[in-house]
Amino acid sequence: MRLAFFGDVVGRAGRAAISEHLPRLKSQLQLDFVIVNGENAAGGFGITPSTAQDIFDAGADCITLGNHSWDQSEALTYIDREPRLLRPYNYPQSLSIPGRGSQLFTTASDQRVFVIQIHGSAFMEPLDDPLQGVARALEEAPLGQVADAIIVEMHAEATAEKYVMGHFCDGRVTAVIGAHTHVPTADGHILVGGTAFQSDAGMCGDYDSVIGMKKDPIVRRAATRLPTERKSPAEGPATVCGVLIGSDDRTGLARSIEPIRVGGRLPETLPKMD
Annotated catalytic residues are 68
Contacts of 23 (CB under 8 A, 6+ apart): 58, 59
Contacts of 162 (CB under 8 A, 6+ apart): 120, 154, 156, 176, 178, 199, 200
**Which ranges constitute the DSSP H helices of the chain?**
11-28, 49-58, 75-81, 130-140, 159-169, 215-224
Nearest CA-CA partner of 100 in 120, 114, 80? 80
Distance from C-alpha of 98 to C-alpha of 79, rounded to nearest angstrom: 7
First CA to last CA distance, the chain: 14
